[in-house]
Amino acid sequence: MSHKKALHTFFYYLLSVLVAVIVLIPFFWMISTSLKSKGAIMALPVQWIPKKPTLKAYKQVFTMFPFLRAILNSLFITVSYTLITILSSSMAAFAFTKIRFPFADKLFKVYLASMMIPTQVTLIPLFIIMNRLGLINTYPSVILPSLFKAFGIFMLVQQLRTIPNDFMEAARMDGAGLFKIYWKVIMPLCSSAIATLSITTFMDSWNDYLWPLVMLTDKSKMTLTLALNSLNGQYGTQYNVLMAGSLLSMLPIILVYIGAQRNFKHGMLEGGVKG
């Protein structure tokens, strides 16, 4: 029995390593291409490891387009989007689970039903609203949709339902008001789920292309995804420049995930649907 178990474990890790290698090949090719000169990209046989690595492509990224400005735009929009999502979703989840009001369950079901509506369906109505508010080509037009995130509400509701109401009663006996209970008691108790929602929201906002493309027309306000698309249009044959820009755009997400990996996995387990 122990021999079969050891053999099973061996093949499990062998398969895992093979899958990891296959997944990492495109990433390694991106790094290799970004370090090549324009002539070395088309060299045969293929050079997986550049013979003469150079950082020229990375310098070109910042000279051909205001890339640093695009990075700062994306950081501002993404951080703002994430903070507003966490605040609005946690408040809504707190109301649905800890504050009993008429038709709470029915309203929550309406929120869940909205998750089935494709983003493309709401694109034109949102554009009309932003246009009438005079927010076209402004940062708020990209950030404000974060006020309503049905998935975030759903995820935090599952977590808050596992928190006993005894914590709230104890806080009330100490003289805490409703907002203080929400901020000082409930929020710390669902920190893992909030960390998970923060990471997923950050990644979605950072990689978002369609909504910023519709809202932002000024080149100085474009996000990183729009900047990469401009590189693809203007410098489509310079693959080393494209790969350098793509790698730079991936770094913030990789760093955020590595820094919060433990909370992310813990929050995914805690935020699952309870029976």
Same domain, 128 and 103: yes
156 Cα distance to chain centroid: 17
Range of the domain at 21: 1-54
Q: Which of 55, 54, 81, 46 is nearest to 197 (CA)?
A: 81
Work out the mean pLDDT of the chain and round it to a whole number. Answer: 84
pTM of the model: 0.83
Same domain, 141 and 27: no
Same domain, 74 and 119: yes
What integer pLDDT is reported at residue 267 of this predicted model? 52
| Pairwise CA distance, residues 59 & 273, whole Å | 48
What integer pLDDT is reported at residue 84 of this predicted model? 96
* Helices 150-160 and 191-207, axial angle in degrees (round to 10): 170
Is residue 143 very low, low, confident or very high in pLDDT (cuts 50, 70, 90)? very high
- Residue 68 and residue 129 in contact, taking contact as beta carbons nearer than 8 Å: no
Same domain, 67 and 194: yes
What integer pLDDT is reported at residue 274 of this predicted model? 45
Same domain, 115 and 154: yes
Q: Which of 19, 36, 54 is the last residue of a domain?
A: 54
List phi, psi (to 5°) of 38.
-60, -35
| Pairwise CA distance, residues 11 & 83, whole Å | 43
Same domain, 258 and 187: yes
Q: Which of 125, 100, 130, 98 is nearest to 114 (CA)?
A: 125
Tens-place pLDDT, residues 215-236: 998 888 889 888 888 776 555 5
Same domain, 50 and 81: no
Tens-place pLDDT, residues 30-87: 888 888 876 666 666 777 778 888 888 888 888 877 888 999 999 999 999 999 999 9
Same domain, 235 and 122: yes
Same domain, 39 and 89: no
Total tally of structural domains belonging to the chain: 2
Same domain, 76 and 45: no
- Residue at 71 is within a domain: yes
- Residue at 82 is within a domain: yes
- Residue at 275 is within a domain: no
What integer pLDDT is reported at residue 246 of this predicted model? 85
